[in-house]
Amino acid sequence: MMIAGMLLWFNLSLGIQDVHIKGYELPPYYAQIELHAENDWLDIYTIYRNEMNKADSFMFSPLIDYFTVGASMTFGQFSFYIEHQCIHPVISGYQFGDIYGGGNKIGVTITSKPNK
């Protein structure tokens, strides 16, 4: 879908993971949704990810949310980006070790992939 010259698109990912950090085992299941608005040189996006345990046969118990917002600008083989991500336990008062907080990224990616 195009709005104001920007292509709007999304990704939906569902999966199983096996991740251990500092002795913590992260929940085994996840769902992730990405929303993008982009043109030839600019990509503005947000990503929401939820990690969960299995509660019973068709139900899951969400434990951790990840929220990401960012933008990238691409000029030829160079892509410059800025991104913020925050991580929160879902259940109020639930302590998931040291896995909460947030941070920012600013960077550049150089690729050998030919331009479109």
Cα-Cα end-to-end distance for the chain = 19
- Tell me how many degrees the CA angle 25-52-9 measures, rounded to the nearest 5: 120
Are 30 and 50 in contact by the 8 Å Cβ rule? The answer is yes
pLDDT of residue 63: 84
What is the separation of C-alpha 33 from the centre of its chain, rounded to a whole number of angstroms? 7
The reported pTM is 0.81
pLDDT of residue 62: 85
Ordered mean pLDDT values, 10 residues apiece, the chain (116 residues): 85 92 80 95 95 82 91 94 91 59 94 76
Where do we find the tokens 């879908």?
A: 1
pLDDT of residue 46: 97
Task: Decide the pairing of beta strands 20-21 and 6-16.
Answer: unpaired
Are 13 and 7 in contact by the 8 Å Cβ rule? The answer is no
pLDDT of residue 94: 56
